[in-house]
Chain A
Amino acid sequence: MTNAAETIQSDIDSNDVVLFMKGTSSMPQCGFSSRVAGVLNYMGVTYKDVNVLADEEIRQGIKDFSDWPTIPQLYVKGEFVGGCDIITEMTLSGELDQLFTSKGVSFDKDAADKIREANG
């Protein structure tokens, strides 16, 4: 494995939820990253944000690692869940709640319901 792949593996091994994104959770630098970080923040999910703009090797490395061409990318318990479109769809359908519940990741169910009410 390359250094980038080792760093990525270590991040997703040692954190239940990891979001590879452009910018940071408090200062996203791209609309798609901002949307996913916003959902996680609103749902009160504890996660590690990895700013790919800060490291060109990680920026390319994460695309190779997951065989996925775009950022953001969400990992839960070491498993690649998807990018912005998939996370948005899963949030609105309730699948993201189910995933977090089945993986033992705590989140604010009321907040998730509010997102669905506002976008229903």
Chain B
Amino acid sequence: MSVRDRIEAKLQEAFAPAHLEVVDESDQHIGHAGWREGGETHFRVTIHAAAFAGMSRVARQRAVNAALADELAGPVHALAMKVEPA
């Protein structure tokens, strides 16, 4: 399973989002810090879920970071995200 697919599966399971988009944009960071051959280092997540209602922006991102702790500790160098209540 690709890192992108793992991120998608974990977010799906954790938040049952109404909208979820995970894009591997590692190719846009070739040569930058953290990039490596083969990519799978830089991702962009857009997620809308009712689970985020009433949470501050910081709390929402913390929740996403917690769900992806293994990936962030491992292969993922950068995770840009837009987290909205559904």
Contacts and interface: CB of A to CB of B under 8 A. Distances in A.
B58 A82 contact: yes
A68 B57 CA distance: 12
Residue with the highest number of chain A CB atoms closer than 10 Å, among B33, B58, B82: B58
Interface residues of B, number: 14
Contact of A86 (B29, B58, B78): B58
B82 A85 contact: yes
B58 A69 contact: no
A89 B80 contact: no
Contacts of A22: 33
B58 A85 contact: no
Interface of A: 22, 29-32, 67-70, 80-86, 89-90
